[in-house]
Structure 1
Amino acid sequence: MPGAIRISPTRATRALNLLRTVQFTHPPTCPCHSNPAHHHHGPQTVTQARRHLATPLDTSQQKEYAFEMAASSIRFGPGCTKEVGMDFKNLGSKRVMVVTDGNVRKLDAMKQVIQGLETEGVEFKIFDEVRVEPKDSSIRQAIDFAKPYRPDAFLAVGGGSVIDTAKLMNLYTSFPDADFFDFVNAPLGKGMPIPGKLFPLIAVPTTAGTGSETTGTAIFDLVSKRAKTGIAHRNLKPTLGIVDPLNTRTMPSAVHASSGLDVLCHSLESWTAIPYYERVPRPANPIQRPAYQGANPISDIFSLKALKDTVKYLPRAVKDPDDHEAQSQMLLAATLAGVGFGNAGVHLCHGMSYPISGQNPGYKHAGYQVEAPIIPHGVSVAVTAPAVFKFTGASNPERHLAAAECFGVDISNVKKESAGEVLSEALAEFLIKLGDQPRGLKHLGFGREHIDQLVEGTIPQARVLMLAPNLELHNLDAEREQLTGLFEEAMEY
């Protein structure tokens, strides 16, 4: 799905036709148009819709009226990694920076990549010191390695940490005079939009989780603030994602589980995010339209499909290392979820996960071959999920019940006011059955004495919190109280 689809009618008649078309062609469970009780906002009348779409673009208090769909081109198929040398030759690339980590460097995926580049006579240099769950210091180290080589293309081979690091190497090599904080998400950075195209980047994922091969997002730990942040812009997304199921067969069971939990929350959060037309401010210029825009009718399709496939295939992939069908389907689900959340965005699970990872009291997740303490990203996201979706359920009961149905819940007689609780219970049961997952923050070593700092680390995550239903973003005391309650609820499930 290269390029972007722009939906921005300018005449009232076209606008109303679009609204009617979406309203009557979207499935009944769509939150954006067919459900008048969607989230905490009332329905739009035709008059409101006309006023909403006809007003000028110059006020920061106006709600959004358009969404854009942007994703990397994707190539999916067993064995397609070997084509990467031809891809760079077709691009006319002369100096490729290959980005990976010490573990992936030894795997067959890297052997395939090197062989492909050498066969086509493409010059390359390898950086293999990517840190799992990268910090700003390791990102800067990688950028400093890339700049003197003056590459004209990048190749990332690895999980989300590798792909995100490669995105940032590409960004600051393409704009070598930029200050590191120019593009970092506000309020921790300046949040400036990326002003032009980057060098080509091909991403070859070796884990089935982040969907980073299709998104314009890169995440890292900002150590000085004890919080995760990142950079998000469409120009950051890879040129091509080579999604080869053979590359995930070396994943340990623990990595299958934690990366799969990231897919689970990507799909659930983007499915339940506020609708794009409730987000403020409406950008004065299209370049300012964020990558994370709120739920929309196109992202919904990807998010719901990814959720269904994750529920079906993740337990199989974790249980049986030889279940190659389940592994392949999970890799595809990760990419589908990437398209969904890469445009709709995520919200509370991810916003709360960043301080959970950044303020790790010393937890080291079993099955990860690293010396330092680590809370894998998928674990840090999923540990709050039962609490989060219990909290957001009232925003759109129909959508939360549709998600619960994906877990096998019979929703035919469930009352709307119970939607959040039902989804929360279904999630908790799924996580427990998956096995070897910490059942709440308490099991990661956090206590109630940590909650205030976790809350303070969550509040700056405005990029994702702005998409959270039911959160009191315009009242800091109320928001702090809500987040405190969520962390307390997430202590154990």
Structure 2
Amino acid sequence: MPELTEETIFTWGAPPLKFGAGAIDEIGFELTAYGVGRVLIVTDPGVHALGAPQRLADTLRRYEIASEIFDGVHVEPTDDSMAKAVEYARAQGPWDGFVAVGGGSAIDTAKAINLLTSHPGELMDYINKPIGNAKVPPGPLKPLIAVPTTAGTGSESTAMCVLDVLSMKVKTGISHWRLRPTLAVVDPLLTMTLPPEVTAAAGMDITCHALESYTARWYTTFDRKKPEERVTYCGSNPVSDLWCEKSMTLLAQSFRAAVQRGTTDVEARANMMLAATFAGMGFGNSGVHIPHANGYPIAGMVKDYRPAGYPQDEPMVPHGQAVSLTAPEAFRFSFDSAPERHLRAAALLDPGADEHSDPREQLPSVLTRLMRDIGIPNGIGGVGYTEADVPDLVPGTMKQQRLLATCPKTPTEDDITAILTRSVENW
């Protein structure tokens, strides 16, 4: 064979999916296939109070599966909150499996618990470089069933676990295919009580997942890797493209309706749950880039911003808001790398949009119109930052080289500075 210097291989994976109203009530049956006798249900206080975790525990009992509910998940988890969750699980274990019920925070915390109760070590051993040591999980993990209660992160489909490292004021993660849940159980009825602000923020996470994955570097443009060197994010590819396109089509149909009529519009909620899962099937393999890289320091260095619809006990920028705030400017920057993809994405997200006189502005204008309609803050200024804060945000973005490497037009530090500066206000 000739010596190959460019990548010729892409990988794609996703867990089996059970989707539909009432699907949560069939988890006991699904777990019988794995021979489990005792599982930990991982959730947060808000979801626990709504009753779904206890309902799940009751159904497990009918299948002679013992369970315990841990409701200590922190919304937007940190290294501290995850370490405490792992400590609890280790002390109360052993466990035969896990069920995560909640948003991405609960599912990602359950992934960390699963990893660190299945194998020795601490969070920093496995966190991505250059922040952590990027140790590879040495063997299989226990069964993990992911039950999302928000339509946003797509964490039920992905092999990533995201958290804030408090000492560095930066968001990062653990990425390896072994973290991917064993089964995704998606029940749209679990999202009917979401406040409109949470629906909007989580939906922008879906939007950015689909857009960033669709506009990521094509997989053959990476340097050829040995099998053991290949990372989870392999670049856009024919399979991830299909899921991202379908996700954007569903967003166009139902995003605004889910925000405006979410308590009554079951079809809109179902479409948003599918969109989140489909986008996860896309970006969980191809990757995300600049908006997510920028979103990590925006969330990690929050000052006094307390978003409506979320717990008010401490400042936070919800992940979906954080990644969306620089997206219009990021896609202006990346347009030259793949104009046809940016234009196709704009047409999928808003089929009725008038064509902009400047093609570079088509996707940013579609995004800003959507963000205004659903009440997303106006740029990073809307969550408390000013132009004077940009030099402090840039280093946090530049640490996300795993994400920036996926951008088809690799940004420099000056590029990131310009994108953040122009995103103080988006309209």
TM category (shorter chain) comes to: over 0.9
Deviation at 1:143, TM superposition (A): 0.5
Q: Distance in 2 between matches of 1:370 and 1:361?
A: 13
Moved beyond 4 Å, runs of 4+: 409-415
Which residue of structure 1 lines up, in the alignment, with residue 98 of structure 2?
Answer: 154
Q: Distance in 2 between matches of 1:115 and 1:420?
A: 54
1:459 equivalent in alignment to 2:398: yes
- Deviation by residue 1:164-206 (Cα, 9 ceiling, x = unmatched): 000000000110x224322110110111222221000001111
Q: Distance in 2 between matches of 1:487 and 1:236?
A: 32
Please, what is the CA RMSD of the aligned residues? 1.6
The residue correspondences of 1:76-91 to structure 2 (distance < 5 A) are 76-91=19-34
Q: Secondary structure at the match of 2:41?
A: strand
Specify the code of the residue in structure 2 equivalent to 1:289. R
Q: Distance in 2 between matches of 1:201 and 1:483?
A: 37
Specify the code of the residue in structure 1 equivalent to 2:97. A
Instruction: Give the alignment partner of residue 100 of structure 1, picking from 36, 40, 43.
Output: 43
- Name which one, 1 or 2, has greater alpha-carbon Rg: 1
Query: Aligned in 2, Cα 1:420/1:93: closer, same or farther, shift over 3 Å?
Result: same
Q: Secondary structure at the match of 1:125?
A: strand
Specify the code of the residue in structure 1 equivalent to 2:28. G
Q: Secondary structure at the match of 2:131?
A: coil
Q: Distance in 2 between matches of 1:433 and 1:137?
A: 36
- Deviation by residue 1:88-108 (Cα, 9 ceiling, x = unmatched): 222101221110010111224
- Deviation by residue 1:58-98 (Cα, 9 ceiling, x = unmatched): xxxx4322001111111101101111112222210122111
Instruction: Give the alignment partner of residue 361 of structure 2, picking from 421, 437, 440.
Output: 421
Specify the code of the residue in structure 2 equivalent to 1:143. V
The residue correspondences of 1:12-411 to structure 2 (distance < 5 A) are 54-55=2-3, 62-148=5-91, 149-175=93-119, 177-280=120-223, 282-284=224-226, 286-320=227-261, 321-408=263-350
- Deviation by residue 1:196-234 (Cα, 9 ceiling, x = unmatched): 210000011111111101100000001111100000111
Which residue of structure 2 lines up, in the alignment, with residue 485 of structure 1?
Answer: 418
Deviation at 1:112, TM superposition (A): 2.7
1:438 equivalent in alignment to 2:381: no
Q: TM-score with structure 2 length normalisation? A: 0.96
Query: Aligned in 2, Cα 1:443/1:196: closer, same or farther, shift over 3 Å?
Result: same
Q: Do the aligned partners of 1:392 and 1:420 also contact (CA within 8 Å) in 2?
A: no
Q: Distance in 2 between matches of 1:209 and 1:400?
A: 21
Structure 2 spans left out of the alignment, 5+ residues? none
Which residue of structure 2 lines up, in the alignment, with residue 49 of structure 1?
Answer: none
Q: Do the aligned partners of 1:306 and 1:334 also contact (CA within 8 Å) in 2?
A: yes
Q: Distance in 2 between matches of 1:72 and 1:264?
A: 21
- Deviation by residue 1:405-434 (Cα, 9 ceiling, x = unmatched): 12436799768xx43322111211111122
- Deviation by residue 1:350-381 (Cα, 9 ceiling, x = unmatched): 00000000001211111113311111111001
Deviation at 1:288, TM superposition (A): 2.9
Query: Aligned in 2, Cα 1:308/1:125: closer, same or farther, shift over 3 Å?
Result: same
Query: Aligned in 2, Cα 1:244/1:412: closer, same or farther, shift over 3 Å?
Result: closer
Q: Do the aligned partners of 1:134 and 1:165 also contact (CA within 8 Å) in 2?
A: yes
Q: Distance in 1 between matches of 2:352 and 2:17?
A: 35
Q: Distance in 2 between matches of 1:419 and 1:80?
A: 43
Structure 1 spans left out of the alignment, 5+ residues? 1-10, 12-53, 57-61, 473-478
Q: State which drifts further: 71-80 or 186-195.
A: 186-195
